[in-house]
Chain A
Amino acid sequence: QVQLQQSGPRLVEPSQTLSLTCVISVDSVSSASAAWNWIRQSPSRGLEWLGATYYRSKWYTGYADSVKSRIIINPDTSKNQFSLLLNSVTPEDAAVYYCVRSTGAFDHWGQGTLVTVSS
């Protein structure tokens, strides 16, 4: 059973960078049939896809236009994990963040990290 284990700070100061990591078990970040996504959920914005990274002979990333200027999703093959960096955060970025595997649909989710943006 694929497992995704998230880690990272739950409190981020405004204008700083949100950083989360997702360790993958029983699958590979280099899988040719999966994509590795970050999705967030907040009362005001509902479920929002932020972006993904995937390997198809080479690495690709795709980002939502809403965060494109502030986001980086990086795979780390040595640790079989992927990460989220979201810079210049504001209170609007407060949400539960999930790392999620997709193989046509979002079939495995991390446990979620509630991130608060506050000084």
Chain B
Amino acid sequence: QSVLTQPPSASGTPRQRVTISCSGSRSNIGSNTVSWYQHLPGTAPQLLIFSDNQRPSGVPDRFSGSKSGTSASLAISGLQSEDEAVYYCAAWDDSLSGRWVFGGGTKLTVL
């Protein structure tokens, strides 16, 4: 059971826009920034979004992040076949001794 809640799956057709949600609580998303990761099979996860809505250099502007209260979202516009992957959200959690927490991951299928 992951601390951050994501839908297990999402899908869309090429060129469509999809969003993936990430729900947390006051001690994590409500107090700290959210990051998003793309995980392709056989590779390490790759940072897509940091500080809620910032893209590292090299990440296409088709990827965008937002946050409101204790929830965050990742949006992918102009969906492409190579976007098919598992997406994770993460945030620091101030509870207990402090720790990083993750969502359970959302498998995105491009139909």
| A-to-B contact residues, CB < 8 Å | 37, 39, 46-49, 62-65, 68, 98, 104-107, 109-112
The answer to whether A107 touches B56, judged by C-beta atoms less than 8 angstroms apart, is: yes
The answer to whether A62 touches B102, judged by C-beta atoms less than 8 angstroms apart, is: no
A105 to B44, CA, bound (A): 15
The answer to whether A48 touches B50, judged by C-beta atoms less than 8 angstroms apart, is: no
| B-to-A contact residues, CB < 8 Å | 2, 33, 35, 37, 44-47, 50-51, 56, 88, 90, 96-105
Q: In the complex where A46-B2, A49-B100, A65-B96 touch, is A104 in contact with B51 (Cβ < 8 A)?
A: yes
The answer to whether B44 touches A62, judged by C-beta atoms less than 8 angstroms apart, is: no
The answer to whether A106 touches B45, judged by C-beta atoms less than 8 angstroms apart, is: yes
The answer to whether B102 touches A104, judged by C-beta atoms less than 8 angstroms apart, is: no
The answer to whether A47 touches B44, judged by C-beta atoms less than 8 angstroms apart, is: no
Which of A48, A49, A64, A98 is in CB contact (< 8 Å) with B44?
Answer: A98
A49 to B45, CA, bound (A): 13
Chain A neighbourhood of B101, CB < 8 A:
49
Chain B neighbourhood of A46, CB < 8 A:
2, 102-105
* Closest chain B CB from A103 CB (angstroms): 9
The answer to whether B37 touches A106, judged by C-beta atoms less than 8 angstroms apart, is: yes
A110 to B46, CA, bound (A): 11
The answer to whether B104 touches A105, judged by C-beta atoms less than 8 angstroms apart, is: no
The answer to whether A104 touches B50, judged by C-beta atoms less than 8 angstroms apart, is: yes
8 more contacts with CB within 8 A, not counting A49-B101, A110-B44, are A39-B100, A46-B2, A46-B102, A49-B102, A62-B97, A65-B99, A106-B47, A111-B44
